Amino acid sequence: MSDVIKTDVLIIGAGPCGLFAAFELGLLDMKAHFIDILDKVGGQCAELYPEKPIYDIPGIPQVSGQGLTEALMEQIKPFHPTFHLGEMVETLEKIGDPLFRCTTDAGKVFECKVVVIAAGGGSFQPKRPPVPGIEAYEGSSVHYSVRKMENFRDKNVLVVGGGDSALDWTLNLAPVASHLTLLHRRDQFRAAPDSVNKMMALVGEGRIDFVLGQVSALEGEGGQIKAALVKTNDGSNFSIACDALLPFFGLTMKLGPVANWGIEMREGELIPVDTGTFETNVPGIFAIGDINWYPGKLKLILSGFHEAALMAQKAYHYVFPGKRLIFQYTTSSSSLQKKLGVVG
Ligand SMILES: Cc1cc2nc3c(=O)[nH]c(=O)nc-3n(C[C@H](O)[C@H](O)[C@H](O)COP(=O)(O)OP(=O)(O)OC[C@H]3O[C@@H](n4cnc5c(N)ncnc54)[C@H](O)[C@@H]3O)c2cc1C
């Protein structure tokens, strides 16, 4: 077993609501670690609509999903939360009163006094392309994310898709791979125009190939792909040799392991909470943001911010039992301002 990481609070999910929770916890001197299955912070805002404007964040007339994520990261900087990205929380169990143990799919083990589940709609799962038998290659030579670029060094890589992920990984892996082909069903892209221009420049320099068509079948054995059969829009077929296939067809959200943690659930996918504290039926485990349910719940970012503030008030009593909590404003409390680093 790896060394146990101990913290006051473990936040599962680094979406906007989880991020703001680190601010409210930090103001009350609680240290937080984050775990998120994505390789970046921001949850739905960063993954599903980074460039779309949001118009209903109080006091901010307009901000993009990515802009809000960056502003939240700036706001929580004084509290130095630790991020464990690209890891999924698999198990969560109560081992004391209150003490929880949590493990991730990367083998990390955490112990904490408070758990905040801010897992939104669950984990983002890659959409699997409709290619017969693709499951047999998944995890060995078909990958839906790039965890380590080095794994693709000197490989013949086939990237499939026309969105940001497909284009970003084409650009990033082009210097690492022995050869790289980008395959997309049409010559229009959903990715950022700058990435498309850079990709086209690489094609122009002969450093990568761009091919129009769709994968219809795979060839290989023992989990190792050798070639992808491609069907073009005019119905003709040909084969592209490759050692690694990276399909980027977008993400869907699935609840994943949250359902197995022994917490009361509603309709199998939402966690009922007390609206005074946003605590679940298990003392010390809180649920904020899109994952929770209570009468009148609105799945809005502003609701999650409010929930985070009330959660922190109750969490304080688990982390500092018997210690009095004095309510203070950031505008007028020099002690809060010191924590924020705005006064000496
Ligand atoms: C297209 C679109 C537009 C939207 N526009 C608006 C808007 O204008 N205004 C507004 O208020 N809201 C809007 N929303 C909704 C808003 O994005 C959500 O309410 C908000 O993202 C919820 O935040 P969250 O932190 O609860 O969860 P999420 O943003 O869903 O983040 C949850 C995080 O938890 C992680 N996670 C889940 N399970 C695990 C696990 N087991 N282990 C580790 N990590 C895990 C996920 O990877 C994810 O990063 C919009 C949503 C969409 C899709």
Rounded Cα distance, 128 and 112, in Å: 36
Which of 115, 301, 303 should be mutated for ligand 1, with most atoms under 8 A from CB? 301
* Cβ atoms of 125 and 141 closer than 8 Å: no
- Cα distances (Å, whole numbers) of residue 230 to 141, 173, 212, 234: 17, 21, 9, 11
* Cβ atoms of 170 and 182 closer than 8 Å: yes
Average pLDDT of the segment spanning 237-242 = 96
| pLDDT value, residue 2 | 62
Whether ligand 1 lies within 6 angstroms of the CB of 37 is answered as yes
Instruction: Output the CA 291–ligand 1 centroid distance in Å.
Output: 9
- Give the containing element (helix H, strand E) for 82: strand 82-85
Query: What number of H helices and E strands is found in the chain?
Result: 7, 20
| pLDDT value, residue 294 | 98
User: What is the pTM for the complete model shown?
Assistant: 0.79
Which one, of 157, 137, 131, 135, lies nearest residue 223 by Cα? 137
Q: What residues have CB less than 8 Å from 214, skipping those under 6 apart?
A: 183, 185, 230, 231
Whether ligand 1 lies within 6 angstroms of the CB of 173 is answered as no
> Does residue 228 carry a pLDDT above 60?
yes
Q: How far apart are the first and last CA of the chain?
A: 42
Which protein residue's CA is at the shortest distance from atom 49 of ligand 1?
43
Which one, of 135, 39, 25, lies nearest residue 85 by Cα? 39
| pLDDT value, residue 212 | 96
Q: Is 256 helix (H, G, I), strand (E, B) or coil?
A: helix
| pLDDT value, residue 310 | 98
What are all long-range contacts of 229-237, with beta carbons under 8 Å and residues at least 24 apart? 230/183, 233/185, 233/186
| pLDDT value, residue 305 | 98
10 Å CB burial of residue 101 (0-12, 13-18, 19+) is middle
% pLDDT > 90, the chain? 84
Nearest atom of ligand 1 to the alpha carbon of 41: 49
- Give the containing element (helix H, strand E) for 109: strand 109-117
| pLDDT value, residue 237 | 95
* Cβ atoms of 40 and 46 closer than 8 Å: yes
Whether ligand 1 lies within 6 angstroms of the CB of 160 is answered as no
Rounded Cα distance, 32 and 315, in Å: 12
> Does residue 344 carry a pLDDT above 80?
no
Instruction: Output the CA 14–ligand 1 centroid distance in Å.
Output: 9
| pLDDT value, residue 1 | 52
Rounded Cα distance, 47 and 286, in Å: 24
Average pLDDT of the segment spanning 116-142 = 92
Q: What residues have CB less than 8 Å from 142, skipping those under 6 apart?
A: 134, 218, 225, 244, 245, 246, 247
> Does residue 139 carry a pLDDT above 90?
no
Instruction: Output the CA 233–ligand 1 centroid distance in Å.
Output: 36
Nearest atom of ligand 1 to the alpha carbon of 300: 11
Q: At what angle do helices 193-204 and 164-173 cross, to 10 degrees?
A: 40
> Does residue 124 carry a pLDDT above 90?
no
Rounded Cα distance, 314 and 166, in Å: 43
Q: Which segment of 148-157, 249-258, 264-273, 291-300 scores lowest on mean pLDDT?
A: 249-258
Helix locations, 55-123, DSSP H: 65-76
Nearest atom of ligand 1 to the alpha carbon of 255: 38
Structure tokens given for 55: 């118009």
